[in-house]
Structure 1
Amino acid sequence: MSEPTDSGGPSSQLDFESGNHRYSIQRPLVSHPDYDTLLLASRQHVRGGPLKRVILKPILLGNERELRTRALEEVSLSRSLRHPNIARVLGSAFNEEMAYVVMDMGHGHFLLSIMDAATSVGGKLSQGFAAYVAAEVAEALDHAHRAVDDEGRPLHLVHRAVGPMRIRLGHNGRVQLTNFGAAWSELMGRIPTPLGILRGDPAYTAPEILRGFEKPEAGQRDPLTPRALDGRADIFSLGLVLLEMLLARYPLDPPDRLWLDIEQRFPPEVRGERPSSLLPLSILANRVLHFGPEEVRLATGALPEPLRHIVTRALRPEPAERYQTAGQMRDALRGFLQETGQHPYGAKQAKAEVKQLFDQASDLDKLPAYSIVEIGALPVPPDMYLEDLDELDD
C-alpha cells in the first residue's frame, strides 16, 4: 500500500505560500481524534535555498480571525521558551483555508510510540529510562514555569497537556516537551478559552482543574481554570506519565474493580476540547478525582521505595503536598538514578534502549507491530494490508 499523499488534515491545499516561505504538505504524522493533527511538510524560502522538513499543526478552535490569532499567540509564547528540552516553534503559516503553527521536525518518536513499541515486544521500559525522561521533561517544565514576557513580567505558564504525545525523543536520545498550544499563561492579549471547555489532555489533567465544578473559588470565572492554577498541575500530569512508563499501562485504567462503583463527581455535560475516542471526559475526570493516596499506593507497590516516593509525591491530590517546583522533581529523579547506580543514564543510554525496542518491534516475522497514533513509527503488519485491500474492493 502506497504512503498517503493527502494531508489528512482540515486543509485540502497541499502546496501554498505564506510570508517568505513555500510549503508542501506531504502526509499526516498524527491524525487521531484524541490528539492535535500534525502534518509533515517541507518548507523553502521563496527565493530558493534548501528544503527543510517541518511539522504543521492546524489550529482548529475558533472562527477565521481567532484561528490566525491563536497561531500567532503560540508563536509569541514560544519566544519565551528557548530551551534545548522544549521543541522549537519556527513561526506561523496561513493559506486560504487554515492557520498553522510551524514546528521543527527533528528525527525521533513521540513517547507514546516508544511505549507502544515496548508493549509490542511484551516488555517494559527500564526504570532508568522512565526516570531519565521524566527528569528531562521536568527540566523543560521548570524553565517554562519561570518564563517571562518581553517586558520581564512572569507569565505563570501552565502547559496543561503534558502527556506521552507531547513528549518526543530524538534519535540522539534528547528529550523535548512539545506543543504549548493548550497552555494557560498571563501573556497579554490572549484569547480566552470558551467557558466549559477543557483544554489539554483529559487523561492527564490535574484534579484541581476538575474540582472547580465541585467547589468553585470566589471570583472564579471559568470552573476549569482555578484562580490558583500554577505549575504544580503539570507536576501531577508528569507523575501520571512517569507511572505509566513504569507500569506499562495507563494508571487510571487498571484491569480490576477499582473504578466500578466510584461516586460521580464530575458533570457529564462538560466537553473536552476534542472528543475522546477511548472514554467519555466525565469518566476520565471522575477517575482522576478518585485517584488518591490509597490508589497510588496500590499502583506503586512493586516499585523500589525511592522511586515510589517520587511518584507518590508528584501525584498527591492537593498541590501543596506535591513537589512545589518542577526543578525539585527533576532533582529527585536524578538523585534516584545516582543512588541506584544508574547514573549516568542519559541521552546515550536512552538512544540505545529505544533503538533496541524498535529493532525488535519492527520484525514482522515475529510481531504484528504498528502505531495507531504516530503514523509510520512502527510498520503496518501484512494482515492489515489485506484488510485495506478488502475495503477497497467493497
Structure 2
Amino acid sequence: MLDRLDVASERKHFLFQIAETRYDFVRTVDRRPNGEVLMLAERHEPRGLPGPVFIKRLHTPGTRARRQRLREEVQLAYRLRHPAIAQVHHFKVRERKPYVVMEYVDGPSLDLVLCLMALRGRPVSVAFALFVGAELADALEHAHSLTDDAGRPLGLVHRDVSPRNVRVARDGMVKLTHFGAAYSQLVGRVETQGLLRKGDVAYASPEYLALEPLTPASDLFSLGLSLLELATGRHLFQAALDGGATDADHGVRVEEEPSLPLTCMLAEVRRYTPEDVAHAVSELPEAFGAALQRALRREPESRQASAGALRDALRDALALEQQRNGGRLYGRKEVAEELARLISDTSAVRDQVELEDEDLFPLGVGPPALSHPSGCGPRG
C-alpha cells in the first residue's frame, strides 16, 4: 500500500492505470509533513518504451470545500504551458487518495543545490543565480498573466515559490513545480480559508504571513528570498533558524509543517529593514543587488510592477555579468556544466547529509540530514 511506503523496502510495483497507460512506482523522492509524497514512477504506454514521470500523492482533503479547491487547483495547473513550468499531465483518485501525474525533470531541486553549496562551502556563481532567477520570473509572468476561456484574468498566484519547488535539470533547464498551492482571484471559485496557510513559510511574503490579500507581488518576494540564498548561501531571515515559540502556542493552523517556526518568521518579517536587505546583497553586483532589494520590499506595491519587470532586471544584470566575464555567454549549457561541477565537488563529502535524490551520486548517501529551512543543515 502506498500509505506505508518504506524507503528500506521500496521496490517497483503497480500504482494505477489511466486509460491504457500504466504507472509503476519506482522510488520516493520527497515526503512532506502534511502527508504529501512525491514519487518517481514509470509510464508504460501500450506501444513504445517506458518513460519516467513524477507522481505526487496529495493529502486527502477532509471537507467538500477542500476537495473542490483541490480540483480547481489542478484545473488551473492544466492551463500552464511554459518551458520553465513542469507540466501537469493527469489527476487521478485511487482508493480515495488524489494523485497528480507531472512532468519528470532529470535533475535536483534547488533545495538540493543549496545543500550541495553548503557541503562545498561556497555558493554557485552569480551568473547561475541570475539565469535561474530570470527563468523563474519568466515562468511567473506567464502564470500571473493567465486568463480563462472568456479572457478574464485568473489572478493566479503560486504562493509557494521556494527552493523545494524548483528543479534544475542536468541539461540546464529550470522548472517551477507544485502549482497545487496556487491561488486564483477569479470571482466564483472556492477561496482558501482565512486562517489557512499553504506552502513553505520560510519563503513567504509579509502579506501572506499576515493573511492579507494576495497579489502576484507575493511571488516576487518569495523568488527574491530564494535567489538571495542561492547567490549568497544565506537566508535573509537566518536569525529565525534558532527557533522560538511554536505555532500551536499562538493558535495558528497551517496545512504544511513550516521549515521555520511560523512565529519566528512573523517576528523577523515585522522587524527587518531595507538596510538589512542592502547589507545582505552588499557583496553582489550592483544591478543584481538592486533587483533583489526591490523584490524584497515589505510593501507589495513597492516591488517590481510585474514578474516580467523582475525578469528583465535579472536579464540585464546577467548581461552585465557576461560583459565582466569577457563577453562569455551564460545559458543552459553553462548551467548544466556548473551543476555537474557542483555535484563533482561535493561527491567526496556526500555521506555528511541525507540528500533527496539517491541517484545524484553513484554510491548513494548516508546519515539523516540536519535541521535547516532547506533541509540540509546549517549554511553559514
Q: Same fold (TM over 0.5)?
A: yes
Q: Which residue identity is paired with 2:72?
A: E
Which residue of structure 2 lines up, in the alignment, with residue 161 of structure 1? 160
Label 1:286 to 1:167 Cα distance change in 2 as closer, same or farther (>3 A).
Answer: same
Which residue of structure 1 lines up, in the alignment, with residue 169 of structure 2? 170
Q: Scaled by the length of structure 1, what TM-score is found?
A: 0.81
DSSP-derived class of the 2:73 partner: helix
Q: Which has the higher helix share?
A: 2
Which residue of structure 2 lines up, in the alignment, with residue 274 of structure 1? 256
Could you tell me which of 216, 241, 251 is aligned with 2:226?
241
Which residue of structure 2 lines up, in the alignment, with residue 322 of structure 1? 303
Q: Which runs of 5+ in 2 are unaligned?
A: 1-5, 369-380
Question: Deviations along 1:136-193, whole A, 9 cap, x unmatched?
Answer: 1000001110001122211010101001011111111011111111111145764432
DSSP-derived class of the 2:53 partner: strand
Question: Deviations along 1:40-95, whole A, 9 cap, x unmatched?
Answer: 112224x4543221111112151386676455433321232101111111111221
Which residue of structure 2 lines up, in the alignment, with residue 76 of structure 1? 75
Q: Give 1:243 deviation, angstroms.
A: 0.6
Is the Cα contact below 8 Å between 1:361 and 1:369 reproduced in 2?
no
Which residue of structure 2 lines up, in the alignment, with residue 350 of structure 1? 335
Is the Cα contact below 8 Å between 1:26 and 1:40 reproduced in 2?
yes
Is the Cα contact below 8 Å between 2:156 and 2:183 reproduced in 1?
yes
Is the Cα contact below 8 Å between 1:370 and 1:380 reproduced in 2?
no
- Structure 1: how far apart are the matches of 2:212 and 2:56? 24
Which residue of structure 2 lines up, in the alignment, with residue 368 of structure 1? 351
Which residue of structure 2 lines up, in the alignment, with residue 40 of structure 1? 40
Q: Is 2:12 aligned against 1:31?
A: no
Is the Cα contact below 8 Å between 2:304 and 2:310 reproduced in 1?
yes
Is the Cα contact below 8 Å between 2:134 and 2:310 reproduced in 1?
yes
- Structure 2: how far apart are the matches of 1:64 and 1:373? 32
Which residue of structure 2 lines up, in the alignment, with residue 16 of structure 1? 16
Which residue of structure 1 lines up, in the alignment, with residue 373 of structure 2? none
Could you tell me which of 293, 297, 309 is aligned with 2:274?
293
Is the Cα contact below 8 Å between 1:74 and 1:101 reproduced in 2?
no
- Structure 1: how far apart are the matches of 2:358 and 2:72? 28
- Structure 2: how far apart are the matches of 1:371 and 1:128? 28
DSSP-derived class of the 2:168 partner: strand
Question: Deviations along 1:355-376, whole A, 9 cap, x unmatched?
Answer: 001012123xx55354444454
Q: Which residue identity is paired with 1:163?
A: S
Q: How many residues align?
A: 358
Is the Cα contact below 8 Å between 2:202 and 2:260 reproduced in 1?
no
Label 1:367 to 1:40 Cα distance change in 2 as closer, same or farther (>3 A).
Answer: closer
Is the Cα contact below 8 Å between 2:201 and 2:209 reproduced in 1?
no
Is the Cα contact below 8 Å between 1:117 and 1:369 reproduced in 2?
no
Q: Scaled by the length of structure 2, what TM-score is found?
A: 0.84
Could you tell me the percent identity over the aligned residues?
Answer: 36
Is the Cα contact below 8 Å between 2:240 and 2:260 reproduced in 1?
no
Q: Give 1:195 deviation, angstroms.
A: 3.1
Q: Which runs of 5+ in 1 are unaligned?
A: 8-12, 212-223, 385-394
After the TM superposition, list the runs of 4 or more consecutive aligned residues in structure 1 that deviate by more than 6 angstroms.
none
